[in-house]
């Protein structure tokens, strides 16, 4: 679907469908546009529902035990990542040879491992995006760069025009429209309306499956093993 379909829903809710729009659909100098609003809304969806931009592929890790989430330049990833979701298996030194699985453990469990042991494959990894979404740790420490297959939440594609394709799965279109309306009604403009802003915020969270505003992080779907391989 095109983002213009979402713009139409938002404009309809604002009764802003005339030729002289209060909220322009294209990027406009010194004026907030629908393009600006949808980029903010898409990112909000991606942060709260990292699965909405999930990518599974083989990437090359760095040496050592401390790792950063996938980046295009550093790891050969297709996209820069917002967060790590899961490391699945080792993929050899060519990125195409499936190997042993990788097990997620807690950061506390990692302290029970010998951090001085080095290797060429990943046995365990620890990641907590509440503490630092950019960093995770692996065991053993890699003595050379190697590949693993993993799933990460990618930075969403930036919208530049109303003719662009909506970059998220279509079920998230409604939530995106709700957050755009929340931004409009909570802003400093002629449409500002606190009550309506709260209504759209609640509709947004309900649409993406977040029950409460305090529960902003989508539940982790990968259960952590208490010990992991190597204990």
If one counts every other C-beta atom within 10 angstroms of the C-beta of residue 185, the result is 21
Whether residue 205 contacts residue 85, with contact meaning beta carbons closer than 8 Å, is answered with no
Residue 101 β-bridge partners: 89
pLDDT tens, residue by residue, 34-84: 999 999 999 999 999 999 999 999 999 999 999 999 999 999 999 999 999
Instruction: Identify the three-state secondary structure at position 11.
Output: helix
Same domain, 111 and 60: yes
Same domain, 19 and 87: no
Give the C-alpha separation, 70 to 72, whole Å: 7
The pLDDT score that the predictor gives to residue 228 is 59
Mean predicted confidence (pLDDT) in 12-23: 87
Whether residue 230 contacts residue 102, with contact meaning beta carbons closer than 8 Å, is answered with no
Same domain, 69 and 136: yes
Give the C-alpha separation, 1 to 168, whole Å: 10
Whether residue 228 contacts residue 109, with contact meaning beta carbons closer than 8 Å, is answered with yes
Give the C-alpha separation, 86 to 222, whole Å: 7
Same domain, 136 and 64: yes
Residue 3 has pLDDT above 70, yes or no: yes
The radius of gyration of the chain's CA atoms, rounded to the nearest angstrom, is: 21
The pTM for the full model equals 0.84
Same domain, 140 and 79: yes
Same domain, 174 and 104: no
Same domain, 99 and 41: no
Residue 128 has pLDDT above 90, yes or no: yes
pLDDT grade for 212, boundaries at 50, 70 and 90: low
What domain count does the chain have? 2
Same domain, 71 and 150: yes
Residue 222 has pLDDT above 50, yes or no: no
Residue 221 has pLDDT above 60, yes or no: no
Domain presence at residue 221: no
| Cα within 13 Å of Cα(79), Cβ side | 18
For 84-104, the three-class secondary structure string (H helix, E strand, C coil) is EEEEEEECCCCCCCCCCECEE
The pLDDT score that the predictor gives to residue 175 is 97
pLDDT tens, residue by residue, 164-202: 999 999 999 999 999 999 999 998 777 778 999 999 999
Same domain, 101 and 136: yes
pLDDT tens, residue by residue, 72-119: 999 999 999 999 999 999 999 999 999 999 999 998 898 888 888 999
Tokens representing 87 are: 């490391």
The pLDDT score that the predictor gives to residue 211 is 64
- Helix H or strand E segment including 64: strand 64-68
Domain presence at residue 179: yes
Domain presence at residue 95: yes
Domain presence at residue 79: yes
What domain range includes position 179? Answer: 3-49+156-207
């Amino acid at each position: 679907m095109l983002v213009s379909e979402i713009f139409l829903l938002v404009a309809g809710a604002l009764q802003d469908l005339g030729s002289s729009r209060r909220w322009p659909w294209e990027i406009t100098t010194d004026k907030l546009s629908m393009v600006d609003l949808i980029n903010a809304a898409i990112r909000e969806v991606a942060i709260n529902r990292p699965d909405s931009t999930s990518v599974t592929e083989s990437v090359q890790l760095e040496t050592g035990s401390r790792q950063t989430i996938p980046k295009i330049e550093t790891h050969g990833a297709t996209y820069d990542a917002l967060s790590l979701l899961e490391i699945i298996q080792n993929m050899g030194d060519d990125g195409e040879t499936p190997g042993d699985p990788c097990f997620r453990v807690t950061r506390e469990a990692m302290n029970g491992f010998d951090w001085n042991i080095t290797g060429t494959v990943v046995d365990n990894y620890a990641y907590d995006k509440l503490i630092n979404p950019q960093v995770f740790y692996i065991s053993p420490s890699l003595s050379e760069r190697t590949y693993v297959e993993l799933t990460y939440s990618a930075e969403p594609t930036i919208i530049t025009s109303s003719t662009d394709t909506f970059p998220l799965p279509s079920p998230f279109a409604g939530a995106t429209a709700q957050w755009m309306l929340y931004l409009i009604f909570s802003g400093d403009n002629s449409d500002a309306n606190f009550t309506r802003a709260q209504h759209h915020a609640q509709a947004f969270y309900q649409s993406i499956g977040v029950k409460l505003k305090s529960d902003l992080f989508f539940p982790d779907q990968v259960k952590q093993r208490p010990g992991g391989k190597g204990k």
